[in-house]
Amino acid sequence: MTTQPDERTVDLAIGGMTCASCAARVEKKLNRLDGVTASVNFATERAHVTAPPTITVADLVATVEKTGYTAAPASTENAADESRPLRTRLLVSAALSVPVLVLSMAPPLQFRYWQWVVLVLATPVALWGAWPFHKAAWTNLRHRATTMDTLVSLGVLAAYVWSLWALFLGDAGEPGMRMHFSFVASGADEIYLEVVAAVTTFLLAGRYAEARAKRRSGAALRALLDLGAKDVAVLRDGAEVRIPIGQVAVGDRFVVRPGEKVATDGEVVEGSSAIDASLVTGESVPVEVGPGDAVIGATVNAGGRLIVRATRVGADTQLAQMARLVEQAQQGKAEVQRLADRVSAVFVPGVLVLAAITFGAWLATGSAAHDAFTAAVAVLIIACPCALGLATPTALMVGTGRGAQLGILIKGPEMLENTRRVNTVVLDKTGTVTTGAMAVHDVVADDPESVLRAAGAVEAASEHPIGAAIAATARARIGQLPGVDRFESLAGLGVRGVVDGRTVAVGRPGLLDVSANDDLTNAVEAAEAAGRTPVLVAIDEVVCGVIVVGDTVQPTSAEAVRRLRELGLHPVLLTGDNERAARAVATQVGIDDVVAEVLPSEKVDEVKRLQDAGRVVAMVGDGVNDAAALATADLGIAMGTGTDVAIEASDLTLLRSDLRAAVDAIRLARATLRTIKGNLGWAFGYNVAALPLAAAGVLNPLIAGAAMAASSVFVVTNSVRLRRFH
């Protein structure tokens, strides 16, 4: 959903929804508002709304309330645990239902007037135990709508009223008259109190288990939101003052003692320590940090005392951004779920019609009234649109939540299908296959110090990793560097500027020609043969040196490439570096297909070339120059250690600088998609098979109630299995 400049998005917490039909009604009502586009998720009980400025939040809330539900701006505080009130109702109903079933199903235990005892026990279950179903059905009826609760309430009340008629007006109430089990034909005065009690208890048990499982499916997101520190010790005039985290401002300096959480994103200004980021990024090995290093809020200080300057607070922190991405992903709908939603919207009216047809058909064929009634009630009770509504969102909730725990952010459900179809993965070299931590290995020149000084001064204005390595080495060896004038970045080739009145150009061999200097030519060839990058330096248009810069291959990249192949993916190494350097890295990690010496704009062309050849392409990268290729690829995977632009352009974001995370991301996305399809297959298959069986009289209402409850529970618990993904 693309938001126009004059639109805003609002997330509402919706209360009172009991099935997918409810969500479909709320969504339909909201979308009828002029200029409003809404998506309502039954599993998360959230509405994601895009509305023009003329539509206020109050208007949206009022629309939802007119539909028969409650609404409020969404927050973590209004995510209530629905299972607690259900538990009490379930326990009481179960305690009353057990003796009802025992007396009904065991004739030797029956005594004079036993059916009246059963009536006394079953009545609280029918009226109080099933009250949530009756209340929701009545609320929807007042708005001329039907939901899953309509079917349940009708089935329970019909069986109860029929039983009352048989007891008080028929012969079932006569002393000594046996009450038969509901699927045994025993005369026109058959009573169904055991159906009333058992079905209500089964459905309460199912709804309780469903609520528990739904809460477990959202546990990862709640845990993510709870990771942050609650207060922080800031420095005020040299003294520590502990304040709530919400009062921290950008620029504040705060203290992080050993074992404490880093309060917010910041930069270390004093001290050194090891930071455990496993809870945020999934990275198991603590990272050493010191002055100048960035730290992420909610990570844990595992070593010494640190003083950190806050750089991002509140909604701007990485933790908050992670939570937003996960929430947005959970609110989205895959195309296959939209089909399920359309089916759910007409499901309940269809079942009501089917139940009426079933009753009439049985009577028309000469069957007894109680047999027709039994089949109709079974149809009402066995139908389960809830499973259809829960199939995708519960799997998505668990999958995205588990991904967040592993340092993998899935942006939305739409990209899940792409992970299944992908057969080629394009890997950017620097910062993806390699560490991206470039270092100067050698300076070949008649005057190495002056060459390094000039190159370092120009590269100090560059953001490229190679330039940063040259500038850092120059500062370390020479000290303070001179300023640069008229700095110019030449995309994919190098940089140029004026240092101390002299024009200095620093770049790849394609920018500068060294063919006239045998020593420098040999240095370039030797560097490329070793898999390193030669950077040429020209002063006043005369090439006077070669700086040899080297990156190191990630120790886990070879394993990651092997695992990508096991997933059926063909790896391609894509880099702006020279062919020989790229081949050297590719050989180390086991990649045969290499595309080297490409400019940033040409990365998009390479992705398109593969797509034109019939490949479905995933792109893994981390830099600004990868953003366009990430957006062009069928599946964009951004390393979270990279730039915000790359992350924004991607479908999956990896918070670990480990290529194995890309493998895990694809595996998790595929596992989530398999779970969604399995859930939908079960939900559709169950209803297609169960409704005709119930209409044919094969399934009695007791079995129907148990099957209906089990259907929703199966879908949710099947999704919860994703929590064990590793």
DSSP 286: -
Determine the distance from the C-alpha atom of residue 12 to the mean position of all C-alpha atoms in its chain, rounded to a whole number: 18
Output the CA torsion sign for 115, 116, 122, 123: positive
* CB-count burial class (<10 Å; 0-12, 13-18, 19+) for 706: buried
From CA 348, how far away is CA 381, in angstroms rounded? 11
- Cβ–Cβ < 8 Å for 64, 72: no
Q: Which residues pair with 570 in a beta bridge?
A: 424
Calculate ∠ Cα 599-422-410, nearest 5°: 90
Structural contact between residues 287 and 274, judged by C-beta atoms closer than 8 angstroms = yes
CA 655 to centroid of chain Cα atoms: 14
Name the nearest CA neighbour of 648 among 682, 621, 614: 621
Residue with tokens 């919207």: 345
b/e code 530-552 from CB counts within 10 Å (16+ = b)? bbbbbbbbbbeeebbbbbbbbbe
Q: Within 13 Å, how many C-alpha atoms sit on residue 688's CB side?
A: 8
| DSSP single-letter state for residue 308 | E
Which three-class secondary structure state does DSSP give residue 237? coil
Q: Is 311 exposed, middle or buried (0-12, 13-18, 19+ CB in 10 A)?
A: middle
- Pairing type for strands 502-507 and 408-410 reads unpaired
Alpha-carbon span 305 to 658, nearest angstrom? 28
Which of 98, 102, 105, 172 has its CA nearest to residue 129? 98
The Cα–Cα gap between 113 and 167 comes to 11
Report yes or no: 407 and 654 within 8 Å, Cβ to Cβ.
yes
Give Cα separations from 162 to 123, 159, 377 (angstroms): 13, 5, 11
Burial of 8 (C-beta count, 10 Å sphere; 0-12/13-18/19+): middle
List, in sequence order, every residue forming a beta bridge with 548; answer none if it has no partner: 442, 534
Which residue in 265, 428, 622, 664 is the catalytic one? 428
Q: How far is residue 47's CA from residue 57's CA, in Å, rounded to a whole number?
A: 12
Taking the C-alpha atoms of residue 525 and residue 532, their distance in angstroms, rounded to an integer, is 10
Instruction: Give the separation between CA 570 and CA 566, rounded to whole angstroms.
Output: 10
Length of the chain: 726
Which of 76, 134, 678 minimizes the C-alpha distance to 390? Answer: 678
At which residue do the structure tokens 């003692």 appear? Answer: 257
Cα 119 → chain centroid = 49
* Strand intervals (E) in 558-665: 570-574, 593-595, 617-621, 635-639, 652-654
CA-CA distance, 104 to 120, in Å (whole number)?
Answer: 14
The question of whether 519 is a catalytic residue gets the answer no
CA 679 remoteness from chain centre: 17
CA atoms in the 13 A half-sphere facing the CB of 55: 23
Task: Report the catalytic residues.
Answer: 428
